[in-house]
Amino acid sequence: MAKIPVKLVTWEDIVSWSRELSKIIKSSGYKPDVVVAIARGGYVPARLLCDFLGVDNLLSIQSQHWTEAAKVAERALIKFRYSVDLSGMNVLLVDDIVDTGESLMLAKNFIISEWRPKDVKIAALQWISPVAKLRPDYYLIEVREWYWFQYPWTRLEDTCQFIKRILKEEGVSKREWSFDDIVSKFREHYGIDVGLDYFRDAVEALVSAGVLEEVSGKYILKL
């Protein structure tokens, strides 16, 4: 099975990374009047940066990826194109990670042309330099080798995806899984532990979605 390299990021990491990032922004002399969080990954870092930088104004913009029918290429679009007047204001646009950088680039261009601020600077906790099309103005960690960072705010979503992936790919040789089988295979395969509560929530969510079926205490992949 093709392994996705995964690193678990804790809440404690997020708070300390945001604190360190705020120091970099402060020492640059840039004084944001408004923080704009990229939905959804930028929400928590943006809120923490508001706290550490003493910024009251927090907005968000949802820049989302979608797959064009019959095309492999992914494209980003602004989901809710509302208008707001930011003239004369310095914006700090915040995301968790700059991976391809496409959604950030789109959001930045949208903000400049539609919201008309004085200036826009980009901040991210992590920047995957070999793949990113842009370099954020402020970042804490330069990632030189691609990983999927398992952030606390996508823990359930990611756990569901990873479980589905394991069961699909192991399906050739194994059909019925106990809860303990799922947990130990997950830990072995991804090398991270999201904790029992998340494993329980994920299995329950996959059963509700019809992806898994429970038959006398064992789970079978349906979709």
Residue 136 CA, distance from chain mean position: 16
163 vs 212 by CB, closer to ligand ADE: 163
Cβ atoms 78, 102 nearer than 8 A: no
Which residue, chain included where needed, has tokens 């059963």?
A: 207
Q: Cβ of 88: how many Cβ atoms within 10 Å?
A: 10
Beta bridge mates, 141: 126
Should residue 14 be labelled a site residue for ligand ADE when binding is judged by CB under 6 A? Answer: no
Q: Of 118, 100, 96, whose CA–CA distance to 9 is shortest?
A: 96
Peptide bond preceding 40: is omega within 30 degrees of 0, i.e. cis? yes
30 vs 148 by CB, closer to ligand ADE: 148
Candidates 17, 127, 138, 149; binder of ligand ADE (CB under 6 A) is 149
User: From CA 187, how far away is CA 194, in angstroms rounded?
Assistant: 9
Should residue 153 be labelled a site residue for ligand ADE when binding is judged by CB under 6 A? Answer: no
The sign of the torsion formed by the CA atoms of 191, 195, 198, 200 equals positive
User: From CA 220, how far away is CA 223, in angstroms rounded?
Assistant: 10
Candidates 97, 140, 167, 202; binder of ligand ADE (CB under 6 A) is 97
Candidates 148, 153, 179, 198; binder of ligand ADE (CB under 6 A) is 148
Query: What is the size of the binding site for ligand ADE (CB under 6 A)?
Result: 4
Q: Which residue's Cβ lies closest to ligand ADE?
A: 99
Candidates 18, 63, 91, 99; binder of ligand ADE (CB under 6 A) is 99
Residues 25-84 that bind ligand ADE (CB under 6 A): none
- Closest contact distance (angstroms) between CB of 110 and ligand ADE is 19
99 vs 159 by CB, closer to ligand ADE: 99
Residue 16 CA, distance from chain mean position: 17
Chain residues that interact with ligand ADE, rule: CB under 6 A: 97, 99, 148-149
